[in-house]
Amino acid sequence: MRTLLRPTAFVDSPFGNESKVARLAGGLNWFAAVELITVEGHKRTSTELVPVDKVQKRFDQDMAAQWQALTSPRPALQLGDRTIRLDQPQVMGIVNATPDSFSDGGRFADAAAAAESGSDMARDGAAIIDVGGESTRPGAKPVWEGDEIERIVPVIRQLAAGGAAVSADTRKADVMTAALEAGARMINDVSALTYDDRSASVIAAAGVPVALMHHQGAPETMQEDPRYEDVLIEVYLWMEERIRAAEAAGIARDNILLDPGFGFGKNVGHNLELMNGLALFHSLGCPLVIGASRKRTIGALSGEAPADKRLGGSIAFALKAVEQGAQIVRVHDVFETVQALKVWRGLRDQALTPRI
């Protein structure tokens, strides 16, 4: 049995309440209470809401470590010459250099079109451009490494040459190597380094950031009948184990990011529960990457709207994520999301302006 800490009761400003609130992960969010979640096995057995100014009296060694992780600033990411600050939310733009993407129908399968799209995203405010050459939508089949490399390397090379900070969305060690040689300076692995047993050593040797994403099952079958005893707790414990595995492989903790994997082996209820409980994952001490853009859950909640009609829902998820301290939102619609976050940031800046 152990107790996990989920920050809640977020407040606009710490002014006048300094002893009663805590800052979340060095970002722009403050919280006034903590949900103490008692866990046995893989599920919650009880919860208790405790004010911040009283919670530390309850800590054991594990809880104290979680608190330290919750309240410590996240170091900036270094992607080559580019520094990505994580004391404010950032946008990662999605470029699918595939013929069968769920979100854009293969519009950017041509390398030149994909690179142009990525350049537009960087101009519109994306801090990182994430380039993928293998669809991992539900039911997708694996792509041979050679084909994947052929799809993404020209795109990455052109974007990197133009000064963009580029991430490669892949789960294969050989593709990671080719992407890094082409100029990518981050890896986004939907398998959390479980698909290819050589991938962790590639990341460790390169010394680049890596996003580890939770999944249940392979893309071909992951949405057939996903089941959890308690999705929030199971994903948390799984991520905790993947952090340990990555560190054991020689990957620096400051280079590890976490993605709870919306839509990857999860039904609508699972996805919504993860989003509602998202702040829990900050106690793992790593930056959070949230990829809910255009996901099927949005369609399921809005009359089965197709992927290209899910902008409103995508922005709703992005704002819900940053309200809970998510450092990076991974999106298709960069301009609109950046605009939404600028308005959110304006609200935060005004709230954080002393009145006296």
Which residues belong to the active site? 295, 330
Q: Measured at the alpha carbon of residue 269, what is the angle toward residues 261 and 133, in degrees to the nearest 5?
A: 30
Rounded CA-CA distance 126/164 in Å is 9
Phi, psi of 44 (to 5 degrees): -75, 140
Structure tokens at 127: 């801090």
Residues 236-262: b if buried by 16+ CB within 10 A, e if exposed: bbbbeebbeebeeeebeeebbbbbbbb
Q: What angle do CA 148, 154, 160 make, to 5 degrees?
A: 115
| Backbone φ and ψ of 355, nearest 5° | -90, -15
CA 148 to chain centre: 23
- The strand pairing partners of 37, in sequence order, are 4, 47
